[in-house]
Chain A
Amino acid sequence: MNILVFVKQTFDTEETVVVQGGRVSEDNVRFVLNPYDEYAVEQAVQVKEEFGGEVTVVAVGQERMEQALRTALAMGADKAALVEDDGSLDEYGVAKVLAAFARRGTYDLLFAGQATVDGASAQTGPRVAEELGVPVVAAILRFTLEGDRAVVERDMEGYSERLSVPLPALFTAQQGLNEPRYPTLPNVMKAKKKPLERLTLEDLGLARERLLGRTATVECFVAPKTRQRRMLQGSPEAQAQALADELRRFVLPD
């Protein structure tokens, strides 16, 4: 079973976001393997352990992404690749890069996190599947292999769907899919010696100007905390009336 996992390094969810000069500051910030990607890597490694095969992890972005790749290697992935770029491509461009990487090999299974905790658009996985022309199931909560098909359960926010999917296919992992393992110290050390390939966009035959997004960031700001408190006065009836008026204004602005 040849498995490819798309990963990204993101802010540690404990970090506070600071906006400086119109962009999110990365000074003194701790980065982690995107938490949803951990589920994806764990699932890939579990499939490998049960059915054999090889797990490759790939990321697009800055030098620092290497650390997230090493974490995935320490969890049991076999090899990694980093397509170096400045981190400014949006989902459109990133999906094209990841798809170009996927086309270099033959994979039975592709995994990604259901979203990244920074951009949170949940687009990259499905876009890559579209580029590759393979089926995609997003936000899966359960995964089993049955012959040449995968049977998965998909989170529908309130209920679940069970789907049988022919391979190759791409699945994005939702929290709860599995319990990602801790990288053990011996595995962290082994990860240092596992192959990590560095590629450029040119190596993948891509021209950067054709990857640029169709969106532009106009402004970046921290949403102001609106803490308005008003004590209602008068009789209970008057207070209830005032509250109802307030709510109506909120739902139906003038």
Chain B
Amino acid sequence: MADQMWLEELRSGVRRICNSFPDSYWRELDAKREYPQAFVEALTKAGYLAALIPEEYGGSGLGVTEASVILEEIHRCGGNAAACHAQMYTMGVILRHGSEEQKRRYLPEIAKGNIRLQAFGVTEPTTGSDTTQLKTTAVRRGDRYVVNGQKVFISRAQYSDLMVLLVRTTPLAEVRKRTEGLSVLIVDLREAVGKGLTIRPIRTMINHATTELFFENLEVPVENRIGEEGQGFRYILDGMNAERILIAAECIGDGRWFVERATRYAKERVVFGRPIGQNQGVQFPIARAHVHVEAADLMRFRAAALYDAGKPCAAEANMAKLLAADASWEAANAALQTHGGFGFAEEFDIERKFRETRLYQVAPISTNLILSYVAEHVLGMPRSY
């Protein structure tokens, strides 16, 4: 594990930026459902979103451990990294499976922040987690692919220059295994919109720039394909573990923020002549949430250490995500309950963070699917889906 003082330096660097974006900044954006442009620019300019890009391509060449600390701190400070976390790791598919030419073309620009690659088109209206059944197709015509279909809940597509898109290039009926026949394309959104791609925003219960995408004969140059045709499913799978760990870290940041706010309020709020935090009925749920956040944190660092050492970590990454998402949700409930009516008042920010952290029970993977994974792949029970 990376040494503690170094991680603390990273945290303090991120905190310095976050301090310029107080609760009111996030609250006002939330009310208007606006993208945190200024925050994302500050973070980009300071190089934090290029943490995982190797130094030879202009990034900092850090591991998932450090990247996770950066995202955790944003959430710990009351912000939300969901607006830009994918800029950190979506490039992973190019880094691991792209050609040298593609890496040189895209990675340095992503590292500088000149290009945003933070949209990842996988899920579809009729096939959410059942990825291999996806219906969006790409048919090759000469040196182009012609893409048709639909995607849904594609985050940040309106705030991204490039998108990694998973499509079926060989019909399901013609492949031996259902995981074959899928391919990964890089779509240049700056050119595609209006020429076969329509982006429609979806308003949700949180300020999360998510969208629906419609493809109608969108042409994508064959040179934009990552790796081999038909192997795309494998390429996106190995990016999932990093994402799980990073999301777990965001949950831990949220959890600590909730515990801190709840604790402070419980000590300050006086009812019946004493602080409400003097009542075990108030303090136990907060204490329990703290215990669970800290336990989840251990699993997160363990998963991150395995990942950074290049060792298998799917079980740990998934378990970290589940533990952390549960802990942050528990902490959110404790904080809301502690604040009573004020928890529902927007100016206390509890309700905003409460809505935001609820997402992690569902995305980017639902808690049930993690349990299915553990049951099947860790414990060897029959596949349930």
Contacts and interface: CB of A to CB of B under 8 A. Distances in A.
Interface string A157-200: 00000000000000000000000001111111101100000000
Give the bracket for the number of chain A residues in contact with chain B. Answer: 10 to 19
B16 interface: yes
A74 interface: yes
Interface in B175-204: none
Contact of A185 (B5, B8, B42, B46): B46
Interface in B15-47: 16-17, 42, 45-47
B47 A71 contact: no
B274 to A, nearest CB: 15
A71 B46 contact: no
Give the bracket for the number of chain B residues in contact with chain A. Answer: 10 to 19
Contacts, number: 47
Interface in B35-76: 42, 45-48, 50-51, 60, 62
B46 A184 contact: yes
A67 interface: yes
A223 B16 CA distance: 30
A182 B50 contact: no
A204 interface: no
Contacts of A183: 13, 16, 46
Nearest to A179: B20
Contacts of A70: 9
B12 A67 contact: yes
Report whether over half of chain A's contact residues are helix, strand or loop; otherwise say mixed: helix
Contacts of B6: 192
A66 interface: yes
Nearest to A33: B12
A236 B16 CA distance: 52
Interface string B262-274: 0010000000000
A32 interface: yes
A72 B265 CA distance: 34
B10 interface: yes
B5 A188 contact: no
A189 B264 CA distance: 34
B48 A185 contact: yes
Contacts of B60: 185-186, 189
Nearest to B66: A185
Given A184-B47, A189-B60, A66 B13 contact: no
| CB-based closest 6 A-B pairs | A185-B47, A184-B46, A184-B47, A183-B13, A182-B46, A185-B48
5 contacts: A30-B12, A184-B48, A185-B48, A186-B60, A189-B62
Given A32-B12, A71-B13, A185-B50, 13 more contacts: A67-B12, A70-B9, A74-B9, A182-B16, A182-B17, A183-B46, A184-B46, A184-B47, A185-B47, A185-B51, A186-B47, A187-B47, A189-B62
Interface of B: 5-6, 8-10, 12-13, 16-17, 42, 45-48, 50-51, 60, 62, 264
